[in-house]
Amino acid sequence: MASNASGNAPPLRASHEDPDPKGDTVLTVIPPKKTGTYTPKVLISMQDESILGTPASPQSRSPEVKASPDDLLRLDPAVRRFRVSSRHLILASGYFEQRLKGYWSEETDLKITGADPNSVGILLNIMHGRTRSVPRRVNLDQLTDLAVLVDYFQCLETVQAFGDWWMEALKPSIQNEYYLQTARWIYVSWVFRNDEIFNTVTRIAQRKGKGDMITFGIPIPPSIKSCIDRQRRLAFERVLSALQDRQKHLEDSDGCFNCSSAFLGALIKQMKSRGLYPAPNTSFGGYAFDETLDVISEFVAPTHLFNHCTVFDSGMLPSKTRDEIKYAENYVLGLRLKDFLDES
Ligand SMILES: [Zn+2]
């Protein structure tokens, strides 16, 4: 590779891989320092002022960014350069519109730091209408990377159709449990505006998550996380309050003494063995909503001693309590996308 001691960008040889071989601008994409970790975690850990190389004033540029594109390429072969058309970028992306039309309007040599060059390449091809080279399928990790970039570049409208395809192909892999992939899905379905998937995966987070939601470093908007946490807690409180009402009723019952005493004891013993008595802390850490419902449905009544009784029915929880517990499920039906569309 020819050296270029002056630090100016040398003319980039046109390549068939370039989004626009005759483009007026060269975009250099520098991957995160830790190779192979092209995750949003890397991106968000850089915080907004440096994420993806927001145009920095010359004074605040890091030594790395002062290096010429050729220097960067020599230092890290993972660095990629794309010849692009500023006109296409401006039309397709709010980010590039701002960057290319604003103070740095004379920039013809852009740098982006901390992003996966392959993912950026995919988006650039879409922005330039080179859709034949865009993969029809990506895995969820890459889709998350793409979603981070789509949100950052503000180019959803341009990429929407591909986002729909990518999600549709991956949708069958959604698991009914809460783990890293579920958090990825929440983020991806939010960025790509898929109400159905967003509702499904936020419901999984509410019902299967044990404790307040863990985001695994995925940049899920805080309002989404707090709404999931809040509704999950409300659902738990409702279940607990139904059990406590039943307990109180048995304590105060002036019906059959033997039965009410035995049912009260059985209720408290089983709540205690499941950690529901005394009442758990307010975040219900360690409890998944669905698991708790299963546990309660398995509560057993001290039946055989009391079959004679005409005052008590033999069910451990009467229908009133069961209805109240059932009602709690209304709090964990998943979120509606439209309530979170102004977040960014
Ligand atoms: Zn009785």
> Which of residues 147, 173, 199 is at a domain's end?
173
Does residue 139 lie in a domain region?
A: yes
Element containing residue 72 per DSSP (H, E): helix 69-75
The dihedral over CA atoms of 108, 114, 119, 120, expressed in degrees to the nearest 10, equals -10
Does residue 127 lie in a domain region?
A: yes
| pLDDT bracket for residue 75 (50, 70, 90) | low
Task: Write down the residue that tokens 């996380």 correspond to.
Answer: 225
Specify whether 146 is located in the same domain as 260: no
Specify whether 163 is located in the same domain as 196: no
Specify whether 196 is located in the same domain as 248: yes
Specify whether 200 is located in the same domain as 293: yes
How far away, in angstroms, is 323 Cα from ligand 1 center?
24
Which CATH number is 73's domain given? 3.30.710.10
Specify whether 39 is located in the same domain as 131: yes
| pLDDT exceeds cutoff 70 at 1 | no
Instruction: Give how many domains the chain has, as a whole number.
Output: 2
Specify whether 206 is located in the same domain as 132: no
How far away, in angstroms, is 299 Cα from ligand 1 center?
19
Q: How far apart are CA 319 and CA 231, in angstroms?
A: 24
Indicate the burial class of 305 (C-beta count within 10 angstroms; 0-12, 13-18, 19 or more): exposed
| pLDDT exceeds cutoff 70 at 150 | yes
Does residue 178 lie in a domain region?
A: no
How far away, in angstroms, is 320 Cα from ligand 1 center?
19
How far away, in angstroms, is 314 Cα from ligand 1 center?
10
Specify whether 199 is located in the same domain as 309: yes
Model confidence over 232-266: pLDDT tens digits?
999 999 999 999 999 999 999 888 888 889 999 99
Q: How far apart are CA 205 and CA 121, in angstroms?
A: 32
Specify whether 39 is located in the same domain as 159: yes
With a threshold of 0.85, does the pTM exceed it? no
Cα–Cα distances in Å, from 282 out to 14, 99, 287? Answer: 61, 46, 11
| pLDDT exceeds cutoff 50 at 5 | no
Does residue 12 lie in a domain region?
A: no
State which residues have CB under 5 angstroms from ligand 1, the bound ion: 256, 259, 309
How far away, in angstroms, is 252 Cα from ligand 1 center?
15
> Which of residues 138, 173, 208 is at a domain's end?
173
The whole-chain average pLDDT of the chain stands at 84
Instruction: Give the domain extent around 297.
Output: 186-344
| pLDDT exceeds cutoff 60 at 57 | no
> Which of residues 145, 173, 201 is at a domain's end?
173
Instruction: Return the pLDDT at 15.
Output: 58
The closest of 114, 60, 81, 103 to 14, measured between CA atoms, is 81
Does residue 180 lie in a domain region?
A: no
SS3 state at 130: coil
